[in-house]
Amino acid sequence: MIKVSVLYPHGENKRFDMGYYCTKHIPMVQGKLGAALKKTEIDEGLAGGTPGAPAPFVGAAHLYFDSVDAFQAAFHPHAKEIMADVPNYTDIAPMLQISAIRS
């Protein structure tokens, strides 16, 4: 199994609408990716590692798939539409990381 993490770095004067992200964007992504998407998690950054420090990321989504090929096959046909929705909730350029899940 693999995890695709979409990370939104914290930055001054940056906008991120967590309400829109959770109620509109992620459900749209889930619908587009269909059965290939096994599980979704959403993180909202609260704090950094030291008292008073901001979280390094405002938010993140973690999308689980059986393989990189399964992710690519599900995502690429809908990439333009998914990416076109990003300005509706943020002006932060998302970072993407694909990880192997190890137990």
Which residue matches tokens 């998302």?
Answer: 94
For the chain, the structural domain boundaries read 11-92
In three-state secondary structure terms, 64 is strand
- Listed in sequence order, the residues at least 6 apart from 41 whose beta carbon sits closer than 8 Å to its beta carbon are 61, 62
Strand partners, 97: 5
54-97 tens-digit pLDDT: 999 999 999 999 999 999 999 999 999 999 999 999 999 999 99
Span 12-21, mean pLDDT? 96
Residues, the chain, total? 103
| CATH number assigned to the domain covering 11-92 | 3.30.70.100
Confidence tier at 100 by pLDDT (50, 70, 90): very high
Can you give the pLDDT at residue 103?
83
